[in-house]
């Protein structure tokens, strides 16, 4: 059973609101990732982190920002939500290395109206 | 990161073996071959990984070609719960970045009862 949690599972919010999607893991993993996935489409990496105080942009440009103040916590923030941000956001974590398993959360399905 | 090529979709019957192919002709010597799957409305989950030798675990088997330019994920006895999108991923040294945890379109596996 994966020990990585995302909240909320579903969020419907109005345009212009600030939102924070939460992601926490209890496995002590240094590496964490955020992906964006539209229905029926592939996952796109938008942010990742090597550890505390490390954040990097992924392959897909995103208006969201992330922070990593604690090892177990990797929240994603949208300062002003827009309908174009409507998507599913998935968080993952893993240990360092090419032979390690990544664990994914259940995802947050965001709808901006 | 080296790229992989998978069929868009495959169909199989319940309780029969399933062989999911993946081509990775540009694989480097240090790339690990990973497989993940994503069930409907869930985050991806790890299935199996390998480097050179064939691998078995409780979920599946991974057969790796001798030249490592292709691999096959084998589900020995498919059930309806195995219906998912299966992703073949290469994880290697990319000089930074997310350790190659980059997802393509994957293969949509359909299981017929």
Which tens digits make up the pLDDT trace of A9-43? Answer: 999 999 999 999 999 999 999 999 999 999 989 99
Among the partner-chain residues A44, A98, A104, the one whose CB lies closest to the CB of B44 is A104
Does the distance separating the beta carbons of A101 and B49 come in below 8 Å? yes
The confidence score (pLDDT) of residue B100 equals 65
Query: Whole-angstrom Cα distance, residue A57 to residue A47?
Result: 5
Nearest chain A residue (CA) to B48:
A101
Nearest one of B53, B51, B67, B70 to B7, comparing CA atoms: B70
Residue B92 — very low, low, confident or very high, per pLDDT cuts 50/70/90?
A: confident
User: Using 50, 70 and 90 to split pLDDT, how confident is the model at B95?
Assistant: very low
Please give the pLDDT value at position A44: 92
Burial code of A81-111, b = ≥16 C-beta within 10 A, e = fewer? beeebbbbbbbbbbeeebebebbbbbbbbbe
The CA distance from A23 to A33, in Å, is: 10
Across the interface, whether the CB atoms of B104 and A42 are under 8 A apart is answered yes
pLDDT at B2: 60
| pLDDT computed for residue B96 by the predictor | 46
The upper half-sphere exposure of residue A16, i.e. CA atoms within 13 Å in the direction of its Cβ, equals 0
Which chain A residues contact residue B43 at CB under 8 A?
90, 92, 104-107
What gap in Å lies between CA A72 and CA A4, rounded to an integer? 9
């Amino acid at each position: 059973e994966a020990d990585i949690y995302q909240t909320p599972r579903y969020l419907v919010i109005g345009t212009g609101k600030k939102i924070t999607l939460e992601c926490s893991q209890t496995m002590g993993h240094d590496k964490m990732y955020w992906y964006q996935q539209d229905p029926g489409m592939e996952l796109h990496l938008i942010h990742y982190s090597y550890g505390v105080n490390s954040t990097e942009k992924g392959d897909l440009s995103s208006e969201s920002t992330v922070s990593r103040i604690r090892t177990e916590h990797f929240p994603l923030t949208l300062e002003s939500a827009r309908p174009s941000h409507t998507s599913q956001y998935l968080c993952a974590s893993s240990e360092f290395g090419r032979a390690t398993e990544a664990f994914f959360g259940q995802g947050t399905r965001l709808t901006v109206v | 990161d080296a790229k992989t090529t998978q069929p868009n979709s495959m169909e199989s019957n319940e309780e029969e073996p399933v062989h999911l192919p993946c081509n990775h002709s540009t694989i480097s010597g240090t790339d690990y071959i990973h497989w993940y799957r994503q069930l409907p409305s869930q985050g991806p989950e790890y299935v199996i990984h390998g480097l050179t030798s064939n691998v078995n675990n409780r979920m599946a088997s991974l057969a790796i070609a001798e030249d490592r330019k292709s691999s096959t994920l084998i589900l020995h006895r498919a059930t309806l719960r195995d219906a998912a999108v299966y992703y073949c991923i290469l994880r290697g040294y990319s000089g930074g970045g997310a350790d190659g945890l980059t997802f393509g379109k994957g293969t949509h596996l359909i299981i017929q009862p």
